[in-house]
Structure 1
Amino acid sequence: MSYQIEICANSVQSVINAEKAGAQRVELCDNLWEGGTTPSAAMIKLAKEKTNIAIYVLVRPRGGDFVYSDLEFEIIKEDIRICKELGVEGIVSGVLNADGTVDKERTRELVELSKPLPFTFHRAFDVANDAFRALEDIIDCGAVRILSSGQKNSAIEGIDLLKQIQEKAAGRISIMPGGGINPDNISELLSIGCTEFHMSGKKGQESLAKPSAV
């Protein structure tokens, strides 16, 4: 079965590495320790200049929950406009209501603003209070993809729910597992019919700074 790999990249160098490794696209973000936030315009611009890989940009103004004030929502919309001006290939975002349901009005507005770029609803899905209702709401908003770990810490832990929403989606939207996916377990996720996978491929790197003398 053929499938596509999306790499979570938090730097221009990571985008370069993902392209060299043969990934089909990247999700570019910043602040991974907060679950990912919107990267700077400079990072997006240089990533576009230095590579030819498809770049989807995470548009999320802060860490924490996915319920946004009016001002934060304006920031999200402005970041989407900037991303489009910079020539990215896709947008990754989404909004929830305080009760854990999908904010359909705002999410639909973001999908429309992103057009003609494809819109991925990010892992806000994993904290929605009803996965099946959220699935239908996101489809109704016009998103083309949902990134999810099956509402668990990893996609393997959430494989049962991923299988259910994959079947329920019935080709109306792509379900892209993400979270803890590696070469040893991707075959399990392929077996439930998913064809796109979100991976980080991250590893630690020593600082170039020399330690201070004591």
Structure 2
Amino acid sequence: MLSTSCKGEPGEKLVAEICVDSVYSAAVAESAGAQRVELCSSLAEGGVTPSAGLIEITRKNISIGLHVLIRPRRGDFLYSDLEFEIMKKDIELAKRMGADGVVIGILKADGNIDVGRTRELIEVSHPLSVTFHRAFDLTPDPFKSLEDLLALKVDRLLTSGQEETALQGAALIKELVKKSANQLIVMPGGGINENNISKIVAITGVKEFHASARKKVSSSMGYCRNYPAMSSMQQLSEYENLVADVNKIRAIREVSATVR
């Protein structure tokens, strides 16, 4: 089942996946040299499943790999039966919309990977590429969790090495790469930028990486009223947004191209 599922440049050794939550950011990522995007909504809150419209229009506007996040809500990764049904339906929808892969993560109450439910999601996903996301970083034993994912034949693991950033977790990521023995792709993510990508790759020996590389942009609205806020949890005003930064992505790609 192992597949990078990226429509990138022939012979490219280090694959760049950019996390985006808009068609605009996906197009920016492609123009800056990324080989794949992970598409979600509400990236400022950690990301949830994008709408059917967002998936379809993004697919029509980029030719690089498109992986879709399957996460029915923010917060923990312990899902109810109804939420699990939503996840399966969203995977089927992503397949119909032309996604190349899905990004999933589901845990049990004890923090371990829910192997049974993950297997069901993988079966629904076939033949798409499957990435298990940073829910992995909340598990109590990373090596047991890796064994579970290897047994499930997951294609890819996104992880910060159970630390806040991939650089901080580089030692664990290195061990995960070693123990996976090329049976799955270990992809670091979390705080990756042009200043640390070389060090992370040098320490870990990874072949792919995941970054957001965003910048804050202001709205084009002529009339702005700052009260009331539309959400009590929002990190930005109604007149700000975070989008992929073409210069940051190009800088990361330029640096990463010299690593191998």
Asked whether the two chains share a fold, i.e. TM above 0.5, the reply is: yes
**Taking CA–CA contacts closer than 8 Å with sequence separation of 6 or more, which of the two structures ends up with the larger relative contact order?**
2
**Displacement of 1:213:** 8.1
CA contact (8 A) 1:29 1:37 kept: yes
Query: 1:9-20 maps to which residues of 2 (within 5 A)?
Result: 9-20=20-31
Q: TM-score, normalised by structure 2?
A: 0.80
Identical-residue share of aligned pairs (%): 49
Paired residues, number: 214
Matched letter for residue 196 of structure 1: E
| Other-structure match for 1:133 | 144
Is 1:200 the counterpart of 2:212? The answer is yes
Residues 170-189 of structure 1 aligned to structure 2 (within 5 Å): 170-189=181-200
Gaps of 5+ in 2: 1-11, 227-260
The residue aligned with 2:53 is 42
Could you tell me how far apart the structure 1 residues matched to 2:161 and 2:27 are? 29
Tell me if structure 1 keeps the 8 A contact 2:20–2:43.
Answer: no
Does the CA contact (< 8 Å) of 1:111 and 1:142 recur in 2? no
Offset of residue 34 of structure 1: 2.0
Scaled by the length of structure 1, the TM-score of the pair is 0.97
CA distance in 2, matches of 1:144, 1:196: 12
- Does structure 1 residue 119 correspond to structure 2 residue 125? no
Runs of 4+ in 1 over 6 A off after TM superposition: none
Return the offset for 1:58: 0.3
The alignment partner of 2:213 has SS state of coil
Counterpart Cα distance in 2 of 1:92 and 1:44: 14
- 5+ residue gaps, structure 1: none
Distance in 2 between residues matched to 1:50 and 1:106, nearest whole Å: 33
**Post-superposition shift, 1:46?**
0.4
Asked whether the equivalents of residues 39 and 50 of structure 2 are also in contact (C-alpha less than 8 Å), the reply is yes
Secondary structure of 2:216 counterpart = coil
Q: Distance in 2 between matches of 1:196 and 1:156?
A: 14
Q: Which residue of the other structure, out of 103, 108, 111, is the alignment partner of 1:92? A: 103
